[in-house]
Amino acid sequence: MNTKIAIICCVVIFVVIAGDQAEVARGAVSCNPLQLSPCASAITSSSKPSATCCAKLKEQRPCLCQYMRNPNLQKFIKSSGAKKVASSCRIPYPKC
């Protein structure tokens, strides 16, 4: 199985298990880590993030600290690839 596909599958499984969907009061953003799936290939490889990835990352920005506290998601959110994507999208990496 392709490594990227395996990682994406793991993320999806962890998200489903965690049931980590909540409303964030600021701007009523629906926190759903699956919304960041357009960023998966950019996080796990050296590819440049797409415009869709950057838009979703900006949209989900209020939720990133919540994701970082989730043990199932934090290894992806705290990864060097995620930091690279945030930088490429010109979105400040959260300090939680």
Tell me, what CATH number does 57's domain have?
Answer: 1.10.110.10
φ, ψ dihedrals at 2, nearest 5°: -60, 135
What is the 3-class SS of 36-55, one letter each residue? HHHHHHHHHCCCCCCHHHHH
Look at residue 9 in the predicted model and tell me its pLDDT.
Answer: 37
Identify the band that residue 27 occupies on the pLDDT scale cut at 50, 70 and 90: low
Query: Which pLDDT score, from 0 to 100, does residue 66 have?
Result: 94
Indicate whether 94 belongs to any domain: no
Query: How many domains does the chain contain in total?
Result: 1
Q: Which 8-state DSSP code applies to residue 48?
A: P
The stretch 38-54 carries a mean pLDDT of 94
Q: Is residue 52 part of a domain?
A: yes
What pTM does this model have?
0.69
Residue 23, domain extent: 3-88
pLDDT at 11: 43
For residue 46, the model assigns a pLDDT of 83
54-65 pLDDT, tens digit per residue, is: 999 999 999 999
Kindly state whether residue 27 falls inside one of the protein's structural domains: yes
- Pick the closest to residue 63 from 92, 26, 18 (CA basis): 26
